[in-house]
Structure formats: C-alpha cells, structure tokens
Amino acid sequence: METLLGNPQKEVPSVHIGGKKGKGSTAAMVTSILVASGFTVGLATSPHLHSLTERIRVDMQPISKDDFGDLVLTLWPDVLKVESDYDLGPITWFEFMTMAAFYFFHFRQVDFQVIETGLGGRLDATKY
C-alpha cells in the first residue's frame, strides 16, 4: 500500500520507538522536546485511551474528526486495491492506522514523525 501512496513514510525523518515498556511515554517526551525546539512533529501511538483520533497527532494535538474522515475516504480505495490485487490477506486495523499516520504526516509537511512500534519485530507495520 505504501507504494500506491508514494511511500510517504520515507519522506519525513523518523524517530522509531520500540521496546517492551514505556514506548508511549518515551514517544510523548521525544515529541514534546522536538515541538519545544520549534519543529512540527507528527506522533503515531496506540492504543488510544478516549478517542480513536488520539492515535494520530501533530504537535501533540489529535487529528480532527473531519480530517480523520477525509483520510479514511482518501485511503480506502487503495486498501481495496491492495486487498484485491495482492494475495496478502486483509490489511489489519493497525496497518491501516500506521499508513494513515504516515500519509497524514507527509500531507501536513511535518519536520519529524515519532512512531511507536506495534508488536515489534521484523514484520511490524511501523518498520520500513
């Protein structure tokens, strides 16, 4: 799916946070430091606590519901194309949210993206 979207994950410098404990806290601290230094920063974390839009943030502010709706409508045709054209099985929710974050951060022209790993390992959706 990344190829269909022009590989947005490769267009923005990344800080990739992994490990067993403290990923969310570390990602928030790194983001806060970068924002305080004057950078525009995208942050992708999971799970959300109160609202789905918390998973995709720019400068610590969640994506708006309208922007999230537009993002889903923009990306969904590519999801259907990948699922029909490639024998990879259905795209998982986490894979979709990860690609949505990469796409949104590229669209918003952030200076950095801070990405929290999912399950980790070589097949993690956040690894590219």
89-108 residue pLDDT tens = 788 888 899 899 999 999 99
Q: Look at the alpha carbons of 78, 84, 86, 89 in this order and tell me if their dihedral is positive or negative.
A: positive
Residue pair 115/14 in contact (Cβ under 8 Å)? The answer is: yes
pTM for this prediction: 0.83
- Residues 68-84: pLDDT tens digits? 999 999 999 988 888 88
Superfamily of domain 13-116: Mur-like, catalytic domain (3.40.1190.10)
